[in-house]
Structures are given as structure tokens and as C-alpha cells.
Amino acid sequence: MTTKSAAAASVATAHGYPRQGRGRELKKAIEGYWNGAVAAEALLATAADLRRTNWQQLADSGVEEVPTGDFSLYDHVLDTTVAVGAIPPRHREAVDTDPLDGYFAMARGNQDVAPLEMTKWFDTNYHYLVPELGPDTVFAANPAKAVGELREALLLGHAARPVLVGPVTYLLLAKPAPGVTADFQPITLLDRLLPVYARLLAELRAAGAAWVQLDEPALVQDRTPAELNAAARAYRELGGLTERPKLLVASYFDRLGEALPVLAKAPVEGLALDFTGPAAANLEDLAAAGGLPGKRLVAGVIDGRNIWINDLEKSLATLATLLGLAGTVDVAPSCSLLHVPIDAAAERDIDPQIARWLAFARQKAGEAALLARGLREGTGAITAELAANRAGLASRANSPITRDPAVRARAAAVTVDDTRRAQPYPVRAEAQHARLGLPLLPTTTIGSFPQTTELRTARADLTAGRIDAPAYRERMEAEVREVVAYQEKAGLDVLVHGEPERNDMVQYFAEQLTGYLATRHGWVQSYGTRYVRPPVLAGDISRPHPMTTDWFGYAQGLTDRPVKGMLTGPVTMLAWSFVRDDQPLADTARQVALALREEVVDLEAVGAAVVQVDEPALRETLPLRAAARPAYLAWATEAFRLATSGVRADTQIHTHMCYAEFGAIMTAIDELDADVISLEATRSHMEVAGELAGAGYPREVGPGVWDIHSPRVPSTDEAVSLLRAGLAAIPAERLWVNPDCGLKTRGWPETRASLESLVAAARLLREELAG
């Protein structure tokens, strides 16, 4: 096909769209269902309404082909587990009895069964449910969801393309099921799984699908020859089917590298590639591979993970080059728009100068449509839009908001000594133990306590002006008093103030730092019904005033037990924000670290003996390609040490991480030089304790013994069992007892019951060790 005809055929499309609804209607309906206030039929009707709204929004933005199947009640990987029939045995009865309740039992567990493990989706803050597979796994096609949602879209008159997690990625994301040997490789089940995908594809074709998209983002990671051969075999078999739609194999988040020629040669009709960030290398790689003659290329030239407007002229230049490399070139964001908020137009409180720099999901869909139009009709057809885009880009580049000379000078003056504690860990540990006087197996929590309806209402009332600041302060102080008194009564050793005044662990600090912007409606799904509003990191960062010392001082004044000062670390402040893309991440991290360093020192000055600086995003932000990891880990660990190294030897620095695969960053965890680290360990059955021991980790560790993302209340026996597993790897002198994560999403009844189990388990084992 000629370049001219390739351009003439260009359309706009998307890989996926935010699920929650503008007012988070999906969250409210699901949680209402869990609480018994919303019937199943009403929940499913809300979901259907949201799907219709999403498709219409895409169509109104100019997207000619909408995705289906990307919508989920909890997680699209869990949906794939259902679609291929890979239900764990412990959940089978629940699924057979009531598929909806069984689905949620897999997602979050119940009092009878534990949920699937949850971890981060590649290097994003989205969490997926990890498939559990073993040699005895039997797959069976369940096409109901995929077919039903396709039919909904077609009946509404949309050109629709179903999207499924591809078979290779599904298996590479899976883990050995409980009881299966750790060396079992789920990818060995590929030949068993492919016939199930063949059935799904046949059913979708019969329902009217012209194309089906199979997402294979796992192939952008470093893959072994055996895994690449598995991918080649998978698409040779699926591509050779006769009863199937056309296949579009999609990748995103990084360059395909060695997998690109494998997929380019496969008997499929199209590829979707990311051309943003590190994935820009796909352009050169595609040319080296001989392009995709006669095939469809969906070009992801719009960053689907960040919120800045696209450089339309730069994207058009990329697309013009791609026209010579493929039969047809279509335009799309780089990945699903699940990772950005819905509509920047809803942000009425943002400075209009800054608002013109922002593009959320609806705007990104419009950018894709505009670029496709420019390809079809020529740039003359979009002259006004290109001029407005140039003006917006120039406004941002030249704005004084983005640059603060004083901040930059301070960051440039940082020395190696600023990034190292003055004393080695053994000296610090002795001083800290003398100061704190804690028992063996000290107990604590991660930071937050339940964010009740009353607390959220008080915060909303303050924002709306229904109560004044003194009244709000009085309400928050009452909550702190209750939380501190409860912890003393429960027998916890190191307390927290409960964070009632905090809306989110990143947003709370972002709202007090220069250079950050907060949104009112910028909700993004983190997992299930947990949505966050990532702040926008628009300019240079500084701290105008202390952020937490007042609340810490109030809480510490209520008790003789140590209270932790609670902060969010520099890497997480970046990872859980929409970060600026006009300077290296390392430079931004250093600015944030310097602001946090001031806060840590101020906390110590007002009496904090323990300061926790959370870095749950350290692992998730790890580059997908191994070659880029050393540089990232160097600046990330330096930023943490810069934030925490200004204190005395007897001030104990804690950090926290959760819901990630930690094995790849064990050296980096050591490089943080924190005195105590707490980590998620319950769903992964205390694996991390063994990993830390195997890496020779020398400091104190708190592997979690209560999965706070499940409504299950652990028994004392369960907590004891997990602690015994921890003690098998870590000496009692270095083991802490804590939940997996903060408690803001839990209710008070389960919090009390679970913490009682945790404290009782610690006491039982102390007595056992003493005897």
C-alpha cells in the first residue's frame, strides 16, 4: 500500500478508557453492593451505563474505533482469569454458587477464603490480581463478558474492537499456585491455553468482531529465547486459525526490542506500538525489522500515562515516517487511558494558563482524532489547532512557574556527605535501642487508621465552607485522641497519630509544596474501588513551611510511647504524581528530597524518635528493561538518603513498601540505609522475608501479617504462623510485627479485631522465645 493510501485510511482509536465514571459512580455502586445497599442488577446496570458513556465520549472526541472488554468491575487481569477458566480451587465453590460474589472473593477475599495476590501492573501504580497456576490447571473458555460487551457497543452503532490480555503476557504475569513448587513456570501451560483463546476469538468473530486486540506488554521486558519462542509459537498458532477475526497484537510502556521481529513476522494483521518515552526506540527498531508491509500499525504517539498536551507537530513527523513502514497507520494514545483522569475540562479551579497545558483521557482521545485527521487531510486542515498547540507548549516552556533559581542552586550544591548517615547502622541501632527501649518483636502500624465517613464529611464541610478551620481542627484532634488511646489500650509499642487530616499520602504533601498542583476531579484507579487523585508536578519544588510537625507534636503529647512521624518519600511523590516531562526525573527527585529533608529534621527537633518515610513506589518505578535500572536505582536511593540523612544516630528511620515484586531491588533496599523497613508479605506468604535473608539484609524488618486490602480478619493463629515463617528467615532481634499497609480503607470493627490478633501473636511468640 502506498504512503498516500496509508494516510488516507488513518483512523483514531484507543486501547482503553477510565472505568470509574466522572463522579466515581462505579466505586459507589460496587461498594454499595458489598455493603448490601445496592442489588446486583443495579450494579450491573450502572456498569452498562458507564460503558455506554465511555464509548460515546470517545466517539464524540473523534475516535472512530472504540475498545470493548477493557471495562472491569475490579481488574482486567482478573477478568482474563475468569475468561480462561483459571479459577483457583479455593474459590471454585464461591464462583459456582454466585459468579459475581465469587469474582469479588478472588479479588478481595472473604472470611472463608484468601484473595489472589495483588501486585503492580508493570511500572504503573495500577494493581492487578496475579493468576495462580500449576501443572493441574485446566483452562476453559468463558466468553460471556467479552462477547456481551462487544454486542453492547455494536448495537449502539460503534465500530468496536475487543481487547484481551494476550496469552503470553497472561502466563508471564502468573505465579505458581499455593502448594506448587516455586520453580514451576506458568509459560509451560501455553499449549494448553491457546485452544481456549482460539475459542474466545471464534466467539468474538461470530458476535461481529472484525478485529480483536491481544495485549502483550510483557514482551517489552527482557525476555529469554525460550519466552520469545513461546510468543512466536502462540501467534503462529492463533494467526493460523481460520475462524477468527483479524488480530492486532499490542505492546506499550517500553520498546519491544527482541520481540519486535518476532511479532512483525507473525501471521497477524497488525501491531500496536508505543512511540513515547523510552518506547520511541520502536521507530528505529521497526525500520530495522523491515517495517510492517501490508499490515496495520496502531501508532501510540500520545503519552497515555501522563497529563501534558501532546506536541502535535512532533507526533505528525513521527507518523509521517511511520507511513512508509506499514500498510495502514492509525493513531492512538500509547496505552490504555486507564492511567489518567477523565476530563481536564472539569478542573475549573486550576489557573487557566496551566489548564491549557493539560490533557486527560477525553483530551487525549481528541488529540488522536486530530492527528488522524491531519494524516488524512494534510496539516492545512488543522492549521488553527496546530497553532494553538504551539502556543500552549511555548507557554509552559517559558512560564516562571516551572523554574525557581533558588531551588535549582540548592539542588546543585548537594554533596555526597548530604546523602549518607553520619554513623554506620550498628552504631545507630545501639543508640536507637537505648532510646526507645522496645520489647522483642515490637508492634506498630504503617501509619493511617480508618478514614471514616465522619472524617471525610468533615473534610468536605471544610472545603465547602460549612465549618471553619478551628472546628475542623477540633474534629481532627478528637480523632487523634481516640486513635492514640486505642493504640495504648491495644498494646501497640510504637504508635501513629492515624492521619485523619490527610486526604492522600501524596496529595496531602503536594498541597503544601510549591511546584505541585492538586486537581478536584482527577481520579485514577489504583486497584478495585481504590481511586486516587495524583497531583500534577508542574514546577520546581520547595517547602514553604513545616507540614506535619504540629500534628506529630499534638499526638506525642498524648502518650509516653513513641509516636512515628509520617512522611511520603521522594520517589513515591514522583511516581504517584503526574510528573513533569521537561527535565530528568533525577533532578525532580532531588528537589523533593531536599524539601522532605527539612521536614525530617524539624520532626526530630520537636521530639520524634521514629520517622517513617514511605517508599512503596520504589519497585514499581523500576525501568522495565534491565539496562536502564542501575541509573534509576542510583538516583532513587540517593534521593531517599538525602531526605533522611540529616538526623542523629538515635533517631530511627523507617520506610515502607507494599504490593510489588521485591526480588529485583534487594540491593537497592539495602542502599536506602533505613533502620527499619516494613513490607507487604501476607498474600505472598512471607516470601520477602526469605528474599531479604538470602540477600544478607542486615537491618530490622517488619513483614506484614495482616492483608489490609481484604475484609478478612486474621486469627491469632494465622498471624503466629506468618511470624514463625518470618522468624525462620530473620532473627527475632530484628523482626517487627505490623500490618501490610495503612488502614485508611478498613473499618473500625475489623481494625480492632485484626490488631488484637496481631498484638496477641507478638505476645505469644515473645513468651515462647523468652521461655
Point out the residues that are catalytic. 709
**Amino acid symbol at 768:** E
- Separation of alpha carbons 722 and 733, rounded Å: 17
**Amino acid symbol at 114:** A
Sign for the CA dihedral angle at 733, 738, 742, 744 comes to: negative
For 425-429, the CB contacts below 8 A with 24+ separation are 425/673, 425/675, 425/698, 425/699, 427/649, 428/649, 428/650, 428/652, 428/675, 429/675, 429/699, 429/700
Sign for the CA dihedral angle at 393, 398, 399, 405 comes to: positive
| All three cell numbers of 745 | 480503607
Q: Would you call 517 helix, strand, or coil by DSSP?
A: strand
- Separation of alpha carbons 272 and 306, rounded Å: 19
CB 118 within 8 A of CB 213: no
**Amino acid symbol at 84:** V
- Separation of alpha carbons 174 and 220, rounded Å: 17
Beta-carbon contacts of 269 under 8 Å, excluding residues fewer than 6 positions away, are 211, 246, 247, 248, 295, 296
| All three cell numbers of 695 | 540477600
Beta-carbon contacts of 447 under 8 Å, excluding residues fewer than 6 positions away, are 496, 499, 505, 564, 566, 612, 614, 656, 742
- Percent helix / strand / coil, the chain, rounded to 5: 50, 15, 35
DSSP notation for 589-626: HHHHHHHHHHHHHHHHHTT-SEEEEE-TTTTTTS-SSG
CB 90 within 8 A of CB 114: yes
- Separation of alpha carbons 247 and 238, rounded Å: 9
Distance between first and last Cα of the chain: 81
Count CB atoms within 10 A of the CB of residue 92: 12
Between helices 99-108 and 89-97, what is the axis angle to 10°? Answer: 150
Burial 175-200 (b: 16+ CB within 10 A, else e): bbbeebeeebebbebbeebbebbbbb
| All three cell numbers of 263 | 511479532
CB 628 within 8 A of CB 585: no
- Separation of alpha carbons 370 and 385, rounded Å: 8
